[in-house]
Amino acid sequence: MAFPEPYYVKTNGIDMAVYEEGPKDGVPVVLCHGFPELAYSWRHQLPALAKAGFRAIAPDQRGYGNTGGPKGQESVPLYDLKHLTDDLAGMLDALGLEKAIFAGHDWGGFVVWQMALRHPDRVAGVIGVNTPFMPRSPIDPIEGMRAVFGEDMYIVYFQKYGEADALLDKDVARSMRFWYRKTGMKLAEFDARPASEKNLAFLKGFAADESLWPGKVLLNEEELAYYTAAFRKSGFTGGINWYRNFSRNWKDSEGLVEKVNVPSLMISAADDIVLRPSMADGMEQFVPDLEKHVIPDCGHWTQAEQPEALNRLMVDWLKRRFA
């Protein structure tokens, strides 16, 4: 499918690649991707939002695609939530926009909820796709994940600088086929599996023969080629560096008032085994103006697995709240 060419804006020390569709005078909706995603991950949403009259703006974020980012182990702190949210505020400055609605999936979801806390004057509304608002943990989240899941859990494993990066960089096309899969597994089926199979040690599965990977490849050849070319250009280190800031973000957030004071929409996927719909329970305590939906028969990659359902929910809410 057609996808717009990027233009570039200077923000917070980087040149950010931005892709957009829709009228320049439309209400701006900024679409923030996760790992290992790109602005291209919103390829089904950009035209739907544009058709509805909104100005849909999707950046390749810090470390990804045509934006890229700082290199080397010493640059890891430059991928924390302060930098990621400052990047987006600077992007609005460069585009001459006072405010926008921010939508985020996966890691992009963490970023957009934090935008509402760290840059509340720039946020008109928030849409979380799979990723709910999560209040600050009472303990360092990496230590918590390590205690529950062990060293092989993918986020814990990502803390070792260079290891997962080299593994995924070795054969980028294979890596993309590994990540972008539709397993068809219901959450109840996953929960019924033995505990030894539920520690989210995804990269152990990566080492297995590809014929043994669960489910099937989600993307077509053209889509896989796009992702493969982008990650051959950028590598995986920038994206993984977001994970290497979990502890830093946790320390940095101490004392931050956890209240999202803008209209918000939470769209969960019924069968996302990592970002479960139940994780949105109780969000209203922190996000008072909240509407929630769950998309059935949908795993983690919501924008590609159920694009029409996601587009319908987003456009309906945006028209009701921001027309």
How far, in Å, are 12, 59, 175, 250, 317 from residue 304 at the CA level? 30, 18, 17, 31, 20
The pair of structure tokens assigned to 122 is 């720039």
For residues 222 and 224, what is the distance between their CA atoms, to the nearest angstrom? 6
Residue 71: which residues within 8 A CB-CB, separation 6 or more? 237
The pair of structure tokens assigned to 91 is 């992007």
Our answer to whether residue 83 is catalytic in this structure is no
CB 308 within 8 A of CB 322: no
Our answer to whether residue 293 is catalytic in this structure is no
Catalytic residue among 80, 86, 106, 272: 106
Active site residues: 106, 300
